[in-house]
Amino acid sequence: MKSTARQAAETVERNMKVYGPPEKSWEEIAKVVSIYTGKDLTAADCVTVLEVMKRIREKYEHKTDNQLDRIGYVEIYERVRSDQTEEGAWWPAINASAQAKDKACQFFEVKL
């Protein structure tokens, strides 16, 4: 049986064959979402939103799909983040830095 991490990596690889490099498609997604929201969002911001969605879904009901997708979003996040900065960055939803929480709360207009 394949590990969840291996399955997620294979899914990202398979999707790259269909959709191309995630850096390109997620930049396009960020541009469109920025227009819809009136906020200047990055590809990393958009990937973070989906990782948070899967995290919240998992809170209500465990599904392997949630875990696979979250791992895949971490991989994609690292790719789009390294495309945006030379330093790279830790995955904000996982390390739960205060800055990332504040940014997510502002985006969703919620208080934790």
Each residue's pLDDT tens digit, 40-81: 999 999 999 999 999 899 888 989 888 889 888 888 888 888
What 3 state SS string does 20-36 have?
Answer: CCHHHHHHHHHHHHHHH
Q: What does the block give as tokens for 25?
A: 């498609």
pLDDT-based confidence at residue 111 (cuts at 50, 70, 90): very low
Tell me how far apart the alpha carbons of residues 1 and 112 are, in angstroms, rounded to a whole number.
Answer: 38
Is 0.85 topped by the overall pTM? no
pLDDT higher than 90, residue 31: yes
Q: What is the pLDDT of residues 1-25, one digit of tens each?
A: 778 878 888 888 888 899 888 889 9
First to last CA, the chain: 38
